[in-house]
Chain A
């Protein structure tokens, strides 16, 4: 059953992508292009596809987004560009993510090298964490002529891209290729290196002109009633070990997953694809307020997951969880081999000397009290999606450059 987990849905061909691009109305002042948090310009790259200029389309995507092939696959486009699409006035929006995937796959097949390192300005920036925001910040800084060192405590770079999003949604080889593109530009990635243990924060600050903390919310929240229970695992742990093993894990007979976001949908869909017969998800939200994207919810439902909306855990006894409905007079008791918690994530910022409240900076923007230290990604204020991480990565790099001066001929 690992094949189902390891296999991404097929993408467009030249013929089918052209059919989809031909549906695009090629709007004036296109709403899709105003709706991307990372300022991607779908109207321009779709127009390039329509006129068979796939290389030009790749340039439009890549020059704006160092993780274009990843965003093509994981971005909740229904909330951004596709929500704004004028085609909805006729039938359904253009599949912008799908077209972007075709273009970035073409870019990879053609071995294009669009992003280039700028002329060195002699300065160096350290980035703690190699998730999407850190990677994008690295690229923007490299383009501006900075040297960049990324520090990653895990054995592989990519953060949640590598250890979180399941293989069928984001193949490892895509992530690897995007990261290789960045190391080819000159980024140094130091793996298995934890700041505060292997290198001190003070040392990093001394060795670099600026330090960016891009550590992400890498740990699952756990409600007290689920602590110290062998049946319980966090979503972060489950997704990481499953992806690392490419789906070759010991499977539970059946499972309860708690949570209603995209992470919960990833867990339940993964379990089903791997062959777990009975998978039930209990979500705090009812369907009309669901947090997971429609696409991920539909994916879970298509795999046959049972979803109990509006239920919260009330008590647990070993493998048996009792849920109660938030509004109705209803209690359900379910026993399962495995209980997985996908109820949100927290930040572990030990030994970094930065101040966080509820996992993010108490103030807007990317500065900290220490003028040499900046933050980005999940711990900066704003949305916690990959596309926002990319935008925050660009913005923190721009801010550092405006402070440090960089190459004044930019």
Chain B
């Protein structure tokens, strides 16, 4: 079995691997976090600890899932707030975790309602032995508007509270950002101005996942009503990657330490977040669906990827994709690539024909008798919708031609994805 060093340093703290539980129901007590450590997670962000005076009062039920055909948990909606255990108990758990797992990283997520709360919580978690602080500035379902994403969208408050945390503790600190904002850069810069050492993102996306057609309210139904609340899981991955990319390419943030969050469930997802600039990774939804054991395949898959890439230090992969994601106006628009059909794979379902006609440029014709498509290059624009709908992966990029009057060498155009289908 492959064994490679997955360790990485993040904000001055050494992680044996980049995989962490995110601050959520999956890290709600000592026993849960200890089990996660035992199963191989490198770090845990303990469920957000709030001030003594904020009483958590949860609804029941509190989750919902978005499905598609037979696939459960395409996305996950969650109404739970911060840790419901008493402050003392949470602090005692942090302390015990650090004592029993000295080589693992224990991160305290905290959330206050005012500067005093933030100072005090920061002091308390450092005293309890946490290695790192994460400021939760982003939970979208708090019952107080002085907490959560209402704070995280206000750069002034973000800076003020970051400064407060830094007054209360000298621990490395990351500010957890909300995606419920058009541009995350001003909030992230405010956090850094307030003393944050890095950014964790994304928290959940405000959502209504499903509507009950009889009761005429959203799910989950809480005694006849429901609320907007956070959405997570695979469906939010593209949104998370976009925010991380935009942070990493903002002027002055090129080396920003990021803990990436948002729909990670496979090693491929993990690599995507790393290539986009994440140093550590945080996971909740897939753990809620499958359990802590998923870390085994994420770690092993990541090791095989490093081996294939000839990389011995995980840090060498961080941010490698950032430079290859450019503004739309900077893309090469001088050529088009025609799809090519692999007749050994084609099973004659006609999906390419339907999608090309109804969703593209009517460039595929259909032979009823032999049940095979033909591509008409005079109409084909090279959009490759046909390749995406083909159920057997029989359509791939074929001949490349320069558009009329454009310069360039078709031989040198790079369009082939290596992703497994």
Contacts and interface: CB of A to CB of B under 8 A. Distances in A.
Interface of A: 15-16, 18-22, 25-29, 31, 50, 86, 89-90
A50 B353 contact: no
B230 interface: no
Contacts of B30: none
A19 B371 CA distance: 26
Contact of B69 (A21, A28, A86, A90): A21
Interface in B349-370: 349-351, 353-354, 366, 368
B351 A89 contact: no
A28 B392 contact: no
Given A27-B349, A28-B349, A22 B392 contact: no
A110 to B, nearest CB: 14
- The list of the 9 closest CB pairs from A to B, nearest first, reads A28-B350, A89-B347, A19-B70, A22-B69, A25-B349, A27-B349, A18-B70, A86-B349, A22-B70
Interface in B237-257: none
Interface of B: 69-71, 347-351, 353-354, 366, 368, 371, 391-392
Dominant SS among interface residues on chain A: helix
Contacts of A18: 69-70
A131 to B, nearest CB: 37
A54 to B, nearest CB: 14
Given A28-B354, A29-B368, A89-B392, A15 B70 contact: yes
Interface centre among A22, A89, A90 (most CB of B within 10 A): A89
A16 B71 CA distance: 10
Contacts of A89: 347-349, 392
Contact of B351 (A16, A19, A26, A31): A26
A47 to B, nearest CB: 11
A16 B69 CA distance: 10
B70 to A, nearest CB: 3
A25 to B, nearest CB: 4
B347 A29 contact: no
A86 B347 contact: yes
Contacts of B351: 25-28
A25 B391 contact: yes
A15 B71 CA distance: 9
B347 A90 contact: yes
A274 to B, nearest CB: 37
A97 to B, nearest CB: 19
Given A25-B391, A28-B354, A28-B366, A86 B348 contact: yes
Contacts of B348: 27, 86, 89
A27 B69 contact: no
A26 B354 CA distance: 10
Interface centre among B348, B349, B353 (most CB of A within 10 A): B349
11 contacts: A21-B70, A22-B70, A25-B347, A25-B349, A27-B348, A28-B349, A29-B366, A29-B368, A31-B371, A86-B348, A90-B347
B353 A28 contact: yes
A79 B171 CA distance: 71
A28 to B, nearest CB: 3
Contacts of B371: 29, 31
Nearest to A18: B70
Contacts of A29: 350, 366, 368, 371
A27 B391 CA distance: 10
A199 B69 CA distance: 56
A16 to B, nearest CB: 8
Nearest to B71: A22
Contacts of A26: 349, 351
Which of B69, B348, B368, B392 counts the most A-chain CB atoms under 10 A from its CB? B69
Nearest to A26: B351
A31 B371 CA distance: 9
A26 B347 CA distance: 12
B207 to A, nearest CB: 20
Given A28-B353, A28-B354, A90-B392, A50 B69 contact: yes
Given A22-B69, A27-B349, A89-B348, 6 more contacts: A25-B391, A27-B350, A29-B350, A29-B366, A89-B349, A90-B392
Contacts of A27: 348-351
A29 B354 CA distance: 10
Contacts of B347: 25, 86, 89-90
A93 to B, nearest CB: 12
A84 to B, nearest CB: 10
A163 to B, nearest CB: 39
A20 B70 CA distance: 8
B62 to A, nearest CB: 22
A31 B391 CA distance: 16
A88 to B, nearest CB: 8
A25 B354 CA distance: 12
Nearest to B68: A22
A326 B304 CA distance: 60
A90 B70 contact: no
Nearest to B390: A25
A86 B69 CA distance: 19
A37 to B, nearest CB: 21
B369 to A, nearest CB: 11
Contacts of B366: 28-29
A32 to B, nearest CB: 11
A16 B70 CA distance: 7
B16 to A, nearest CB: 38
Contacts of B392: 89-90
Nearest to B355: A28
Nearest to B354: A28
Contacts of A22: 69-71
A90 B351 CA distance: 15
Nearest to A49: B69
A225 to B, nearest CB: 51
A174 B79 CA distance: 44
A274 B348 CA distance: 45
Nearest to A50: B69
Contacts of B349: 25-28, 86, 89
Nearest to B345: A89
A154 B347 CA distance: 49
A221 B371 CA distance: 44
Q: Which of A18, A29, A50 has the most CB of B within 10 A?
A: A29
Contacts of B368: 29
A180 to B, nearest CB: 28
